[in-house]
Amino acid sequence: MAMHEGLSPAQSELFWAVLTFVGGFRGDPLMKVVDEDLADGAAALAATYETAGRGVIYEHRPQSLVSQRFVTDLQGFLGKLAAQAEPAVARNLERDAAVILRRLEAGARQVRKTIDEGPTTALDMISRVVAHAAREAPARSAAPAVEPPRSMIITP
């Protein structure tokens, strides 16, 4: 949750969308995705967006094939989000994504210093958080946030 602190509302929404993508990302069935692949891919894509923000078009490449697959799929996902978003949000999507991806990279690299459950600790935690949020969402949306007022008219 420390990765989420200090984000703007638009960045917060994008953060949860990216976490949902990461939680469902499986990549190639023959190559296991580990936290280092997540961190490497997030760093490469963030660097690409940061470079583009300075006016230079250069695609930073991650080290592994799994990371490259992650970057390619995430770029497609973010492209779909940009196409569906309002123009103001779409203009800032790459800048906001760079911030989020840097936090995701840092979280994936730091999580094993706190909790070491193996090479997929961050991915497993993200999957659990996303699954829990998905289970909680229908319960929150089913009940109205504010009860509608009851009629004050008394009928005889």
Examine residue 13 and state whether it is found in any structural domain, yes or no.
Answer: no
Examine residue 61 and state whether it is found in any structural domain, yes or no.
Answer: yes
How much is the pLDDT for 42?
96
Examine residue 110 and state whether it is found in any structural domain, yes or no.
Answer: yes
Low-confidence ranges of the chain (pLDDT < 70): 1-4, 138-156
- Encode pLDDT of 26-57 as tens digits: 877 888 899 999 999 999 999 999 999 999 98
58's tokens? 């250069």
Domain extent at residue 90 = 29-130
d(CA 53, CA 122): 28
Examine residue 5 and state whether it is found in any structural domain, yes or no.
Answer: no
State how far the alpha carbon of 77 is from the alpha carbons of 17, 25, 66, 74, in Å.
9, 11, 16, 5
How much is the pLDDT for 87?
86
Examine residue 104 and state whether it is found in any structural domain, yes or no.
Answer: yes
Examine residue 52 and state whether it is found in any structural domain, yes or no.
Answer: yes
Examine residue 102 and state whether it is found in any structural domain, yes or no.
Answer: yes
How much is the pLDDT for 44?
96
Q: What is the pTM of this model?
A: 0.81
When divided into structural domains, the chain yields a total of 1
